[in-house]
Amino acid sequence: EGKGDTRHSRHLVKTLAEKAPLRVTAADEAGEAFFRRCGIERWVDGDGGLRVGLGPLHPAPVNGVLPSVVRFNGDGIVRTFKQEPETFEAYKSRFVAALERYSNIA
């Protein structure tokens, strides 16, 4: 198995694809092949020569346009959590509660 292509990483991606509207990008054939082994079967051409894979729960493109992705500023989040530990604890609790709800999905 190549770098990053482990049984555990495939299992994680497969599980996420089964439970959430997962979207992935692949820069080359090896990347696309990895995600295909994880159950990502729908592919479209993306910007800059990237291939975009859509998990089974991801909505299909409408008129050739994919829904917007959620983006975030990781450095800003870390700064906020360091400066406001109570905010970190509140978000952590909400995140854990949301994960617990996924265990009830068949």
Residue 26 phi/psi, 5-degree rounding, is -130, 130
What mean pLDDT do residues 2-15 have? 80
CA distance 38 to 18: 10
CA distance 101 to 98: 5
pTM value is: 0.62
Map residue 40 onto helix, strand or coil. Answer: coil
Domain range for 38:
1-68
Q: Which of the pair, 69 or 52, is modelled with greater confidence?
A: 52
Same domain as 86, residue 60: no
Parallel/antiparallel/unpaired status of strands 23-26 and 42-45: unpaired
Parallel/antiparallel/unpaired status of strands 23-26 and 51-54: antiparallel
Residues written for the chain: 106
Same domain as 103, residue 61: no
Domain count, the chain: 2
**What integer pLDDT is reported at residue 43 of this predicted model?**
95
Per residue in 23-61, pLDDT (tens digit) is 999 999 999 999 999 999 999 998 898 999 999 999 888
